[in-house]
Structure 1
Amino acid sequence: MKKNIEPCYYGDYLQLDKILGAQHLQSEKYGSPAHEETLFIIVHQVYELWFKQVLHELNSVIDTFSQNQVRDQELITVVHRLHRIIQIQQLMNDQISVMETMTPQQFLSFRDYLVPASGFQSIQFKRLEISLGLKREYRIDFDKQSFYNRLEERDRALLENLEQKPSLFELVDQWLCRMPLLKKDDFDFLDHYEKATSELLEADKQTIENNPTLSDKERYQELKDWQATRENFDALFDEQKYVALRGEGKFRLSHKAMLSALFIKQYAEEPIFNLPFQLITALTEIDEKLTIWRYRHAMMVQRMLGTKIGTGGSSGHHYLKKTTESNRIFLDFFNMATFLLPKDMLPELPPSIKRYLGFYLSDEGK
């Protein structure tokens, strides 16, 4: 291990003079300093530091998936770094509790001095969203319209350039499409899966029709919901139907990527699929933590401002609440549970398939 030649001093290494001297209160410019403004600044500065680390991890993952091939060793590192992001997200979610020690009146003592500054202008958070896959076309209308108009030109140019690059969602979709799954030799997963799901859905329909506790109105609604589920299942076996539903926003993954992810989830206990399964699970959890962060942020804003507008001009709590469910990225991985079958209904993978996949996904097969 190499050693330093010059001594390293703690404060100099961390540049604490810069960090600890970076809290400048707006309220001081107009009168007495507001005590709680220091907390407000530090909490948001800490968020930005964590955003920087998350982007550092996320960019390394994107670089890995930008390759034509992703080896198992690289996938181990990817999953590890995604888990680190998840732990950072948990810290950021917990940090909201510190902000909530501030009362609404304490916040109002300096809030108006911040206009028109807003979380809209966190370039790192926007980079994080775009890099994950939340590009402008997937945002709710207000967010889509105001996404860039509160930014300085250099920041707008940076984000618009990032929008043109493949996001992690897009790269993972392409990676899933490249996996050699589903059908080989005498093994046809989709054929077996279609028969099994038909039996399962028909049994569900019979349960609804023969349930004596349901009123006619309730039975009608449940059968209507059953039909919608049936159509989603049918789309798995008909690419044209799937593309049509995807165009309506019911799916975001491509047809082949959806089938590959479903196959991985169904056979997650197989060693060859364990790392891909961990990857899918980690991306699901990142989306969940981000949704929780949005929700807690929305609740905190409602607690502080009620129905007042935000400092950036949005509808405040109402806007943040809408983004909680609308600005999702890996929602398909959540909804995939709809299509999972019980283990006893799955065909066992033939030894030839296991050998083939093991060879294909190994270094020798590449």
Structure 2
Amino acid sequence: MHKNIPPVYYGDYLHLDKILGAQKLQSEKYAEAAHDETLFIIVHQVYELWFKQILHELNSIISIFASNNVDDRDLTTVVHRLRRVTQIQQIMNDQISVMETMTPQEFLAFRDYLVPASGFQSIQFKQLEISLGLKREYRIDFDQQSFYLRLTEDDRAYLTNLEKQPSLFELVDKWLARMPLLEIDGFSFWQLYKTVTEDYLAEDRQTITQNQGLSQTERNKELAALAQTEAKFSALLDEAQYQELLDSGQFRLSQKAMLSALFIKQYSQEPIFNLPFQFITLLTEVDEKLTIWRHRHAMMVHRMLGGKIGTGGSAGHEYLHRTTQANRVFVDFFDMATFLLPKHLLPKLPDEVTRYLEFHLYQANKTKV
């Protein structure tokens, strides 16, 4: 122990007097204290503490990707911190079960004293969404209208300024787009990919047309779905077609970023792609766990309120259900499974291509964003 450092007392270090004294019941101001309001307050305070930690990790990751150089050591740190974020998210999802030990009538004992306070006013959660990449232009119309309602002027200004900063999604898109596409020394991965996928989809078409167990209506429906998949495959390698899908909201990643991410996923077994693959997988998991949290929260609100409006004046669980799928960020990483091929169909990378990647992936990530 350092001689000049005074001893630290546990309670003082954690400021337990402030934390444990921060549960002030609204119910006891007007009537008998509602027993379950303490649980309600503590659960939400813990959420805010976890939001703070997630933002702490997320901001450090954004700083790394905002720099001019993202090398393997940086990615190791990013993967480590993102994995921590997903573990925190799991705790947050499980925490809903604790809240659900409260019955609807126990909630009603203090609910009306909380108006108009609402989870809508959690600035940290809004900051989390924006920092990940859920800015107002990507929200559905009704969510855009309600996002800044019931906030103070200072909080609105803070979030509006945050929306002007690059989000993690935007920085990851640029990082992926900087990676070299495979048109190296006469080897064209994408031409080989195009040939293989055309054969692969032709087999799917033949399977549908020859399936005697399908009615004509069912066959037409499956063929229409396959045609949409074929159009997306075709658009991957066509700049104009891809831009149309971007404009219509079917994709959000830029074409170069999409192709790079797809290549990383296709060849995830290659040592050079190990960390990028883990990173993409963890971003997918962050989005998935956030979606699960939204869904469980919506189910809990439905259980507690039924068809009643929320304390903040929203449509309650109906609003939350609508945002569950709408407010996602890394959906392209989920949809990318559409374009993956079985490992046995992938062309083996020539040695000169592997050597090229080992050098140029590092160099590409040293260039300016």
* Same fold, judged at TM 0.5 (above): yes
One-letter amino acid of the structure 2 residue matched with residue 201 of structure 1: L
Alpha-carbon offset, residue 365 of structure 1? 9.7
Q: For the Cα contact (< 8 Å) 2:178–2:364, is it kept in 1?
A: no
CA deviation profile, 1:79-101 (whole Å, cap 9, x unmatched): 00000000000000000000000
* 2:280 equivalent to 1:280: yes
Match of 2:213 in 1: 213
Looking at structure 2, the residues matched to 3 and 198 of structure 1 have their Cα atoms a distance apart, in angstroms, of 72
**SS in structure 1 at match of 2:214:** coil
Looking at structure 2, the residues matched to 312 and 112 of structure 1 have their Cα atoms a distance apart, in angstroms, of 11
Looking at structure 1, the residues matched to 170 and 223 of structure 2 have their Cα atoms a distance apart, in angstroms, of 35
**SS in structure 2 at match of 1:34:** coil
Match of 2:28 in 1: 28
Alpha-carbon offset, residue 363 of structure 1? 7.5
One-letter amino acid of the structure 1 residue matched with residue 81 of structure 2: R
Structure 2: 5+ residue runs without aligned partners? none
**SS in structure 1 at match of 2:113:** helix
Distance 1:2 1:71, change over 3 A: farther
* Number of aligned residues: 366
Looking at structure 2, the residues matched to 89 and 217 of structure 1 have their Cα atoms a distance apart, in angstroms, of 43
Report the identity percentage.
Answer: 70
Distance 1:348 1:2, change over 3 A: farther
CA deviation profile, 1:201-228 (whole Å, cap 9, x unmatched): 1110011111111101111111111111
Alpha-carbon offset, residue 308 of structure 1? 0.7
**TM-score under structure 1 length normalisation:** 0.98
Looking at structure 1, the residues matched to 243 and 364 of structure 2 have their Cα atoms a distance apart, in angstroms, of 36
Matched ranges for 1:93-108 at <5 A = 93-108=93-108
**SS in structure 2 at match of 1:35:** coil
- Between 132-141 and 71-80, report the one with greater CA deviation: 132-141
One-letter amino acid of the structure 1 residue matched with residue 87 of structure 2: Q
One-letter amino acid of the structure 1 residue matched with residue 84 of structure 2: R
Q: For the Cα contact (< 8 Å) 1:176–1:256, is it kept in 2?
A: yes
One-letter amino acid of the structure 2 residue matched with residue 5 of structure 1: I
Match of 2:262 in 1: 262
Match of 1:230 in 2: 230
Match of 2:126 in 1: 126
Match of 1:151 in 2: 151
Distance 1:305 1:364, change over 3 A: closer
Match of 2:109 in 1: 109
Pairwise CA RMSD of aligned residues?
1.4
Structure 1: 5+ residue runs without aligned partners? none
Match of 2:307 in 1: 307
Match of 2:342 in 1: 342
* 2:56 equivalent to 1:64: no
Looking at structure 1, the residues matched to 3 and 170 of structure 2 have their Cα atoms a distance apart, in angstroms, of 42
Looking at structure 2, the residues matched to 260 and 362 of structure 1 have their Cα atoms a distance apart, in angstroms, of 14
Match of 2:250 in 1: 250
Alpha-carbon offset, residue 139 of structure 1? 1.2
Alpha-carbon offset, residue 149 of structure 1? 2.1
**TM-score under structure 2 length normalisation:** 0.97
CA deviation profile, 1:27-63 (whole Å, cap 9, x unmatched): 0111111000000000000000000000000000000
Q: For the Cα contact (< 8 Å) 2:173–2:254, is it kept in 1?
A: yes
Match of 1:18 in 2: 18
Matched ranges for 1:69-88 at <5 A = 69-88=69-88
Distance 1:363 1:336, change over 3 A: closer
Match of 2:321 in 1: 321
Q: For the Cα contact (< 8 Å) 2:208–2:222, is it kept in 1?
A: yes
**SS in structure 1 at match of 2:204:** helix
Looking at structure 2, the residues matched to 3 and 184 of structure 1 have their Cα atoms a distance apart, in angstroms, of 62
